[in-house]
Structure 1
């Protein structure tokens, strides 16, 4: 089993590769069970460093195996100890299939045979031998339904989806389904929020928005969420199920929120999605729509791979430094962006020219053909991704709080593309947890402290930006890369987003 390891915050993190797949299912007691490499783990306890401790199920059941593992998120683990028994891939697969069968049985009104036809397609050859007989599985489905006789039918299309009145409320009885464009709308949109959450959104000047896809019911395309700062915390306040990600749909969501209510955000952070950028700019013309630093660097790295430069980037330190310097242009004053880009282009190796061309077209703007006429408008102009003032003012530079929430919510759901009713139940539970966070913030509880390594890095970055004037631009970009960019680029290169990264 091959693991990809990177150094991060003085620990060796193990990230899943194509050969190591972490899967999560719900245990019979309602908890989470981890399937990894043919072994099954059950949760032992929460650890002080933010990890969750899991142990081999044989340790829990018979004390035969002492293997343990520390997990953070849905795809990161470390300190995995060895088992004293071989893996059982068949049993792991059978357990996964049985969990899916139970979930589908309790969430749909399909006949037992239909449930089995839908779930048994996931069974492997090894898993077949570990499953109970089909008759026993049918009896289990009927028994589970007797325990849950009010299961709602699973909608197969958005036109089939009818949400009963009692399902439109939070667990506390407040109206939660704020907007439904209707069953006959071919671009149907559902917006979940509460009056209290909208009130908080109206008082917040800093918003964050992003979409996620794996956790979405199959009849929808994406879950788009809007988060905002409140007493130092970043909390989710609006949840939208959408059938696409075009500008018109985003505009409809924002129009529904603005109906009868005024919002005055001054800064809205998103990833580099052109449709969302335009929708926010039109709805809130006085707000600064800002791109996420992490996503900017991620796009540069993706372009490096597209141009076939990944091996050279990995092996050549000069190429690697100069590529990272492209992202560091975000930390010069916005009026110096063109000068910084041209200075870097003047010393960069020829192999990086395709990446520089992409960055110039997309984020800087090509020079006009007529000399002295400036530059063409970039798709994402420098004012959107520049971080000079944000750094000096102590503002967020990434959207990683939102992405971290998306991962935690996906873990809570426990499956990719759940049924609509499973999704809605989990969303209501998540909303209830967020209400606790909001209540604690109102009572004066401070937000989680940044780790010391991030605090130190941020202070170094502020000092570097403060002392920008008078430095040679290329020297500034080089110094920034060498002192501040190692963590963020290590995470990008490992294709993972650290939930606490605020560099």
Structure 2
């Protein structure tokens, strides 16, 4: 990833994003560049989604899979819900991860898998817990299945390349750690961005010169290849959808970040292309604080 534009925002409304995108398009035009992205990745944030859709109507918009996972995990383990059960009951743990696997199920088979998930929902002795599981499922349906966010936004079965924007989150965290304090004065801000601009230029020049990028981790490459194999087997009819989902489960792990309790440790990859969805111990550059503005 090479940063091209630095933006400071104190509000994130659709009109704010429209203003920013118009400014970027204007500057690109001055340089003789036509911005026509084929793919766009955003968080689960209506303002950003709507603004990018308006400015680039032909681009395919996908939601960051990390933030999708983070939203589900945050809701499922919220006070009064199922944090203890998730940590201590393997059946509930597996059931929740099956729900997340919908993000890698073919769109035309999501309903089939969803019905099986509903039929297998946990049953508790406590009436209150049964009400809570129904409340969680209602939230999922209203938000992701039949309501706010289109299935094609968060489903990544056909995605080739990055499924998350973790590289950007990691870059922002590094920048935050480099700054070391909030509310910089304007002069210090300029110094920071000048340093970052120089670093980005060097990285860009290396790419132009054909120098190799930082290699991906072998573990992530292996896991990504496994997922591709299961997809191929499913497409060719060599395994059914139940076997496919069960084979995906080991790749997903949901837990609180050890260094930052506010961060859900659900990661795609620390590699720059973010191409693998896997169980990853969070590294300092990938610690991502929970986002308040998810449109939920």
Q: Tell me the TM-score normalized by structure 2.
A: 0.79
Q: Is the 2:143–2:149 contact (alpha carbons within 8 Å) kept by the matching residues of 1?
A: yes
Gaps of 5+ in 1: 1-233, 366-377
Q: Tell me the TM-score normalized by structure 1.
A: 0.48
What secondary structure, in the 3-state scheme, does the structure 1 residue paired with 2:61 have? strand
1:468-479 matched pairs, under 5 angstroms: 468-469=234-235, 470=237, 471-479=239-247
Give the drift of 1:472: 3.8
Is residue 148 of structure 2 the alignment partner of residue 379 of structure 1? Answer: yes
Q: Deviations over 1:90-115 (max 9, x none)?
A: xxxxxxxxxxxxxxxxxxxxxxxxxx
1:87-486 matched pairs, under 5 angstroms: 234-259=1-26, 260=29, 262-306=34-78, 307-350=80-123, 351=130, 352-365=133-146, 378-390=147-159, 393=160, 395-469=161-235, 470=237, 471-482=239-250, 484-486=251-253
1:401 and 1:474 mapped to 2: Cα distance? 32
Give the drift of 1:492: 6.1
Residue number in structure 1 paired with 2:294: none
2:108 and 2:6 mapped to 1: Cα distance? 37
Change (3 A) 1:286 1:492: farther
* Structure number having the greater helix percentage: 2
1:238 and 1:339 mapped to 2: Cα distance? 43
2:53 and 2:107 mapped to 1: Cα distance? 19
Runs of 4+ off more than 4 Å: 490-494, 496-499
1:467 and 1:355 mapped to 2: Cα distance? 32
Q: Deviations over 1:260-296 (max 9, x none)?
A: 3521101111111111000000100000110011111
Q: Which has the higher relative contact order, 1 or 2, with Cα contacts under 8 A spaced 6 or more apart?
A: 2
Number of aligned residues: 252
What secondary structure, in the 3-state scheme, does the structure 1 residue paired with 2:148 have? coil
Q: Deviations over 1:23-47 (max 9, x none)?
A: xxxxxxxxxxxxxxxxxxxxxxxxx
Gaps of 5+ in 2: 124-129, 278-296
